[in-house]
Structure 1
């Protein structure tokens, strides 16, 4: 499938990234994790001291990203920041606790929308995020919107982080999920909403294989 753009939006821990990677491989399209890009900027802000004790210095971040070189490698699923691999660092608890606050900053979203569109301008792609089908690629060939019960999403995220060596309390993960939902859906710029022409999939009781088959069937039907 040459140059098709597939947009996958939805809430945190609904299986977007896992499904997007599988679709990418199956269809022979590059994969881009847009959430990793926002996490990269959040990591940089923390490292540079632009976030301290719940204070976010927006002016410093805005000036800093103008000199930023951020790249997501679709082959290795790795993120580099100024040529430094930060793939593992962006998944930390600290980055997770601030990423939605950074993602709601208008200048951050405008900066990354431009980057994301450039990524899909030549060969098409599969991209997952919060506003891919509404703001980044409103004319995407295929759009999917993922949802699931918060408790199930928190359990998935907790298991994922435990497997990666992070020791967290389930209730803490659930609170983070709910907080992110609130920030994502209520932000003024590009809030998390379902595009009118997106196919909604509730993954609460579905396996990855079932979700994959639903998406492929929809793509093949078009």
Structure 2
């Protein structure tokens, strides 16, 4: 029974550190890892390849069902995402893919189509799932739930450093506007809006080193309250 497999959900807005923290925590625990955002970004990339209109909900739903999404871990431990057989990992991390994912995630039929794919990641010995509705919709019965936050300014700064390291020309002001716009879209969408689960532990990562956050999250799993 997969329902007996422990799940740690880590939700939060873009740039809160949930992806980095989730990967590290999963590695330390020896659990599987689900990057739910990669699924939406993969559909967004596939839609872009097909030159689909992001306002055409019907076409996007069909694209969701038709898109083959796979994950492959390299010898170095990096997670690569395959979209219809092509390595699209780098393209998935662009701002364009992120914006497409946010738009696609607002379509109820798309979310429903991806729900079973996400739940299928729940396998022994355990799962760390990061996203925006992991603890509220996908795994509401999760054993452990965390909601990460950080100031919009710090999240923009983090994203700026990531993109500059990759040679991408961006501005902090532009990234801040995009982050605020995405926060508004994610929080106001009718289906599965971004919000913490009532039983989630809140951690504000503003100004905190990554290792400090990792230790706090691991403590939640290894020393559960009550």
Task: Kindly state the Cα deviation for residue 80 of structure 1 after the two structures are TM-superposed.
Answer: 1.1
Partner residue, 2:143: 141
Runs of 5+ in structure 1 lacking a partner?
A: none
Structure 2 CA distance, aligned partners of 1:97 and 1:147?
Answer: 20
* 3-state secondary structure, aligned to 1:6: strand
Residue 89 of structure 2: which of 80, 87, 96 is its match? 87
Task: Kindly state the Cα deviation for residue 123 of structure 1 after the two structures are TM-superposed.
Answer: 4.4
Name the TM-score, length of structure 1 as normaliser: 0.93
Structure 2 CA distance, aligned partners of 1:197 and 1:190?
Answer: 16
Structure 1 CA distance, aligned partners of 2:118 and 2:101?
Answer: 17
Partner residue, 2:23: 21
Partner residue, 2:217: 215
Structure 2 CA distance, aligned partners of 1:104 and 1:121?
Answer: 27
Structure 1 CA distance, aligned partners of 2:123 and 2:66?
Answer: 22
Structure 2 CA distance, aligned partners of 1:206 and 1:70?
Answer: 34
Partner residue, 1:113: 115
Task: Kindly state the Cα deviation for residue 206 of structure 1 after the two structures are TM-superposed.
Answer: 1.1
Structure 1 CA distance, aligned partners of 2:126 and 2:105?
Answer: 24
Task: Kindly state the Cα deviation for residue 215 of structure 1 after the two structures are TM-superposed.
Answer: 1.1
Residue 51 of structure 2: which of 49, 52, 55 is its match? 49
Task: Kindly state the Cα deviation for residue 204 of structure 1 after the two structures are TM-superposed.
Answer: 0.6
CA RMSD of aligned residues (A): 1.6
* 3-state secondary structure, aligned to 1:31: strand
Task: Kindly state the Cα deviation for residue 122 of structure 1 after the two structures are TM-superposed.
Answer: 4.9
Q: Is the 8 A contact 2:60 2:104 kept in 1?
A: no
After superposition, what is the alpha-carbon deviation per residue over 1:16-67, rounded to whole angstroms, capped at 9, x for unaligned?
011001101100011121111111011111111113xxx5222111122222
Q: Is the 8 A contact 1:33 1:72 kept in 2?
A: no
Is 1:65 the counterpart of 2:64 in the alignment?
Answer: yes
Partner residue, 1:101: 103
Q: Is the 8 A contact 1:32 1:72 kept in 2?
A: no
Runs of 5+ in structure 2 lacking a partner?
A: none
Name the TM-score, length of structure 2 as normaliser: 0.91
Task: Kindly state the Cα deviation for residue 117 of structure 1 after the two structures are TM-superposed.
Answer: 0.3
Partner residue, 1:162: 164
Q: Is the 8 A contact 2:10 2:18 kept in 1?
A: yes
